[in-house]
Amino acid sequence: MRAHWGVENNLHWTLDMAFDEDHCRIRQGYADQNMAILRHISLNLLKSETEHKVGIKIKRQMAGWDSDYLLKVLQIF
C-alpha cells in the first residue's frame, strides 16, 4: 500500500515542480484532462532522455530554449 502512495506522491510532486500543475487555471470542457495527458507524455519523454544529467525542470527549460534539444527529446532525429 505504501509503495502505491509513494509512486503517486512522487508523480504529483514531479508534475507540480516541473510543470507547476497546481497553479494551472485551465478549467473549460476537457481542456484540463487534455493538458494532464500532454504533461504526462512530456514527463515520460523528458525522463527517457538520459544524455543530460539534470532535473526534469531544467530539461524542460532546455527544450524550450534549444530546438535541436527539443527534437532530440521528441526522438525525431
Cα–Cα distance measured from residue 18 to residue 40, given in angstroms and rounded to the nearest whole number: 11
Domain extents in the chain: 2-73
What does the pLDDT look like over 34-73, one tens digit per residue? Answer: 988 999 999 999 999 988 899 999 999 999 999 999 999 9
Closest residue by Cα to residue 65 from 44, 17, 52, 40: 52
pTM of the full structure: 0.77
Cα–Cα distance measured from residue 62 to residue 45, given in angstroms and rounded to the nearest whole number: 13
Closest residue by Cα to residue 58 from 67, 48, 46: 46
What does the pLDDT look like over 13-26, one tens digit per residue? Answer: 888 888 887 788 88
DSSP 8-state symbol, 51 = S
3-state secondary structure of 66: coil
